[in-house]
A = this chain, B = another copy of it.
Amino acid sequence: MSTQIRTVTVLGAGVLGSQIAYQSAFKGFAVTVYDIDDDALAVARRRFDTLVATYTAEVPGGEEGAATALERLALTTDLSQAAAEADLIIEAIPEVLDLKRQTYGKLAALAPAKTIFATNSSTLLPSDLKDSTGRPDRFLALHFANRIWASNIAEVMGTAETDPKVFREVVAFAEAIGMVPIEIHKEKAGYVLNTLLVPFLRAALELVAGGYAEPGDVDNTWRIGTGAPVGPFQIYDVIGLRTPYNIMVHGDEEAQQLATWLKTNYIDKGKLGLESGQGFYKYM
């Protein structure tokens, strides 16, 4: 590993936070996982057990390394302890601006000067948060995708104040934990992946909501026309329909109409995507 980072703290052991923590431990890092109370940590432990099973079955090296990765994970509800020794703190707490700002305000006092702060926020820009960190030069976004072991991209995006050395250090860390780092040179809402996905999914929904074509035909067209394994409506079902709904309902007038259509025809009927057993397709 060419990274100087040795100890990593992950704040928030939700779906993605637990994956980030586990993947880092699996790749040999000492990882401290912070969440707000013992109940949250109990949920985290169950997530880690599931990840051991998944990595054992699906990930190269998992049969040997998946269980021992647990030994490199320490769980705590003490923010002071979580911050004390970290070379890098990856923040993956809920997407609430004030909560994140308060947390960075506390970290600013608790973490040593060396510590790099990275936010995994999908919807906020790092510049929304940088002033609360007390160290904007050592702060940036490090954005992961769900199913980190398979969808192994890490989008790295600083603000104008991020030290280029810190940026490179985090890129090296991303590589060290098995990610393909995606370097974003300037702040961009949605990073790269969602900048591509959002208009693509919207165009697909316009075709169906507008009565032009059926979801299955749209997906067939994309799969056959581009060789992709899945079409846009299969992607909707995997993501879950509420996430694109929440994006579109805050968009322009046309996007709001699409959001309403999605709500009326799918969400209100309990068709939320793969997890609910039905979305644009049935999965039972």
Instruction: State in angstroms the CA–CA spacing of A229 and B145 once bound together.
Output: 18
Contacting pair B195 A153 (CB below 8 A): no
B residues within 8 A CB of A186? 210-212
* Total copies of this chain within the assembly: 2
Contacts known (A195-B206, A204-B196, A218-B192); A213 close to B183, Cβ less than 8 A: yes
B residues within 8 A CB of A145? 224-225
Instruction: State in angstroms the CA–CA spacing of A222 and B193 once bound together.
Output: 6
Q: Which residue of B lies closest to A235 (CB)?
A: B226
Contacts known (A199-B199, A200-B203, A213-B192); A227 close to B224, Cβ less than 8 A: no
B residues within 8 A CB of A168? none
Within 8 A of B (CB), among A161-198: 180, 182-186, 188, 192-193, 195-198
B residues within 8 A CB of A76? none
B residues within 8 A CB of A204? 196
Which of B182, B199, B206 contacts A213 (CB under 8 A)? Answer: B182
B residues within 8 A CB of A199? 199-200, 202-203
List 9 A-B pairs, minimum CB-CB distance, nearest first: A199-B199, A228-B228, A192-B221, A200-B200, A193-B225, A188-B212, A227-B229, A153-B224, A182-B217
